[in-house]
Structure 1
Amino acid sequence: MTDSFSGADMLLKELAGSEFPVSDDIIERLRGIYDHLVGISPDDPDFERYLREDVIEHEMFDRADAIDISDSVLDVSARHKNDPALLPAFFIAFEWFHRCEFDAERRQRYWERFVPLLNVCLGGFSLYQYALSMFYLYGGDERRAEAAARKALDIAPDHIGFLNTYTEQILDRVERELISTGRQMPEDNDEESLNELLTMFDKRPREGWHPIFHVSYGRILACLGRYSEAQSEYSRAVDLENSRYNTWIESGGNTIKASTYVTEMNEIFDARNTCNMLSNMRSLSSVIDDAQSAQRDRARELDDKMDELGRRFDNERIDMLEFIGFFAGIISFVIASIQLGDGLEFPTRALMVLLLMGSLLVAFGSFSALLESGRAVDPREPKRGHLFGIRAGLVTVIALGLVVIVVALLLYLVIR
């Protein structure tokens, strides 16, 4: 064993002699796995990929083996705190239930027996944080699952598998919010996170990507409204998945399990359906927005017309009152002129009539000015031809009346 697993021999002996001992056959299989992992960092994607694809998916262990390993690992874990040698045995037990136990409740019960309990011993390893995030995710605690996935990525920032896991958990939440709220784009903080994830994926060479990485990349694009690019990623994922499946058939079923193929194809089609849903929602939302905008414009137009009709009605009423006042003034002027003529000389009577006419002009102008204060005016049009807030014509009438009164008084004084 190299320095990476300097405690592997001791660990295997302890597993064989623990309170829940594993068989010699399991020990030998584990020994071969440790030999293969010599020199590979636990943060290297090849470390996790080997355990998942070459160990679990090749069915090197069964359910009973996974249970024995998990019980034994938990029993000896206290003596192997922060020991990387404990990690492969733990992950084999964890991943067997992850990939091979299809009863969700049973899988969660098995995980509960050892996954959270090993946090003290293995919490500093990215692979354990990944396993912990899966445990929380399947247990329904999305917040803690997302936090554990982020911690795994922080410990091993170059591990694209952990990046994908963290991305999937962000996307699950964002997609659900977009669909439930009907928004066209994520909230600002989520949009910033998605762009950051997109950048992190772009920094990694695309050659050799697992099909699911293309799916996650496409889901990010779909959430950001780039639907055609997202569909291209899904098509690429389908091609890669079919290629892997064909290789599995040709090799006699030694590269990928059929159940894994079905599961991953379902994920691709689910992502494609979600993309179509988001695209259709955006199109529908655009149509609704256009209809609402047209409705608002029509409502404003009707409001303007109603306001205009109201102003016309009010102004016509004022015009009618002014006409009545003017007509009443003429009648009063005629009657007063006749009455003033009795017993007066012609010049005096003429001056009195002139004085009466000036008073009538002032009274009519003042009456009209009072009514004008209640005249409705279009707020969008400035008041033109107004002096002191009164129409210039009324100011002229009042001024003319005052001039007539003054002239009549002066002439009367001259005649006297």
Structure 2
Amino acid sequence: MLDELAGSDFPVSDAVVDRLRAVYGHLAGVSPDDPLFERYLREDVVEREVFDLADAIDISDSVLDVSARHRGDVALLVPFFIAFEWFHRCEFDAERRLRYWGRFVPLMRVCLGGFSLYQYALSMFHLYGGDEARAEQASRRALDIAPDHIGFLNTYTEQILDRVERELISSGRQMPEDDDTAALNRLLAAFDKRPREDWHPIFHVSHGRILACLGRYAEAQGEFSQAVDLENARYNAWQESRDAANGGGNRDDDGGNAAEARKTIKDSTYVTEMNEIFDARNTCNMLSNMRSLSSVIDDAQDAQRARARELDDKMDELGRRFDNERIDMLEFIGFFAGIISFVIASIQLGDGLAFPTRALMVLILMGSLLVAFGAFSSLLESGRAVDPKAPKRGRLFGIRAGLVTVMAVGLVVIVVAMLMYLVIR
């Protein structure tokens, strides 16, 4: 592989070949799906500035030139990922980074598409290119190929979280949709299965972001604090090792410390990762405040709805009372008219009849008036408003019990009067 890279149409220099040979030697026997494979290339090769921009460009061009002869070859994956990760970590201009990636990353799918590390690189290419759907698909494929790689789990989780957090903030909801909640719980369980001793600080950040989206804000803040402590400890340890490698802080001729004066990739990575931690913490605070505010608003709305229901009930009660009073007035008028009719009829029926017969006729007339009054009131009762909580209370056959009693008494009076009339005759 090294000979082909050196002899391609876009050859790499002998110095680059020598450095790549050392990388191959270190990775001998390490699976490309092992987290150590990716971590070594990122932390011990790229972040330690083993290669520069010119080297990265030469490597990417040379890899693309020889790729047709090395489909599915893990040896091709090493220089590919070095070039990819160099632009990822060292090229701070997003537009230029995407332009460099576009020259070789999507074109290597045929040759390296079966490797999880390539799918991770492809997901980053799509993510920075603004195609979040394809980025999520590629990160999912990387995780499917290497399910034990916590770095790929973290990448996939970050892309899910970016979408869920954006939806929560834009919609104002307190919790994600049911499908997203189930997905977050699965990711949380996947993180919890991994031993936490060797976690990168960003893994704690993703774990905390999941907890924040699920409403477990205190636990999320604990994860963020742990990430800050771990990030500072890692950076301080790296500074100490760098100072020791530079002879305890030797100074340049201008009196400045050479190690401190040089801007390193590790410095930039530290700042970037600390910014990610604080961004996650701020998002958690925002979600927590939104939930508290939503709870206050919901309580106020519930109280307002309760008052509105109470007012509606009172208005309904007043309406029922008004309707019932109108019916009562009509019944009173009917009853008063019945009394007048009874008096007039009693006077007219008395002419030329014996007293017993006359009394029985009056009884029959009284019973008829009672039945007529009950029937008339029953017709009016169909329009009477009833209490919706107890619509059948005090009713028989849908009619008020008092009216049923009045009609029954009237019928009894009529029957008794008729029987007495037959007996008298």
Q: What band does the TM-score fall into relative to the shorter chain?
A: over 0.9
1:317 paired with 2:326, answer yes
What do the CA deviations read for 1:232-267 (whole angstroms, capped 9, x no partner)? Answer: 111111111112222233323699611111100100
Mean CA deviation greater in 405-414 or 139-148: 405-414
**How far apart in 2 are the matches of 1:125 and 1:411?**
112
Structure 1 residues 390-405: aligned runs within 5 Å: 390-405=399-414
Unaligned runs of 5+ in 1: 1-10
Aligned twin of 1:300 = 309
**How far apart in 2 are the matches of 1:193 and 1:60?**
39
Mean CA deviation greater in 212-221 or 40-49: 40-49
1:106 paired with 2:96, answer yes
**How far apart in 2 are the matches of 1:388 and 1:235?**
73
Unaligned runs of 5+ in 2: 244-258
What do the CA deviations read for 1:57-92 (whole angstroms, capped 9, x no partner)? Answer: 111222121111111110110001111110111011
Letter in 2 for 1:289: D
Aligned twin of 1:3 = none
Aligned twin of 2:348 = 339
**How far apart in 2 are the matches of 1:17 and 1:347?**
142
What do the CA deviations read for 1:90-122 (whole angstroms, capped 9, x no partner)? Answer: 011111110111111111111111001101111
What do the CA deviations read for 1:357-413 (whole angstroms, capped 9, x no partner)? Answer: 222111111111211222211121152343322223222222222232233334444
Structure 1 residues 360-371: aligned runs within 5 Å: 360-371=369-380
Letter in 2 for 1:366: A
Aligned twin of 1:237 = 227
Aligned twin of 1:161 = 151
Aligned twin of 2:18 = 28
8 A contact 2:217–2:288 mirrored in 1? yes
**How far apart in 2 are the matches of 1:35 and 1:413?**
131
Letter in 2 for 1:265: M
After TM superposition, the score normalised by the length of structure 2 is 0.91
1:387 paired with 2:377, answer no
Question: Secondary structure of the equivalent of 2:335?
Answer: helix
1:269 paired with 2:278, answer yes
Mean CA deviation greater in 274-283 or 289-298: 289-298
Aligned twin of 1:409 = 418
Aligned twin of 1:281 = 290
Structure 1 residues 86-235: aligned runs within 5 Å: 86-235=76-225
8 A contact 1:245–1:256 mirrored in 2? no
Q: Among 325, 347, 359, which residue is 1:350 paired with?
A: 359
**How far apart in 2 are the matches of 1:223 and 1:90?**
36
Mean CA deviation greater in 128-137 or 350-359: 350-359
Q: Offset at 1:351?
A: 3.0
8 A contact 2:98–2:125 mirrored in 1? yes
Mean CA deviation greater in 29-38 or 387-396: 387-396
Question: Secondary structure of the equivalent of 1:85?
Answer: helix
Q: Offset at 1:338?
A: 2.2
Aligned twin of 2:253 = none
8 A contact 1:218–1:233 mirrored in 2? yes
CA RMSD of aligned residues (A): 1.8
Letter in 1 for 2:168: L
Identity within the alignment, %: 84
What do the CA deviations read for 1:180-235 (whole angstroms, capped 9, x no partner)? Answer: 22222222222222222222222222112211111111111111111111101111
8 A contact 1:369–1:390 mirrored in 2? yes
Mean CA deviation greater in 86-95 or 279-288: 279-288
Mean CA deviation greater in 131-140 or 254-263: 254-263
**How far apart in 1 are the matches of 2:342 and 2:136?**
93
Letter in 1 for 2:360: L
Letter in 2 for 1:82: G
Letter in 2 for 1:202: D
1:69 paired with 2:69, answer no
**How far apart in 2 are the matches of 1:384 and 1:106?**
82
Aligned twin of 1:8 = none
Question: Secondary structure of the equivalent of 1:257?
Answer: helix
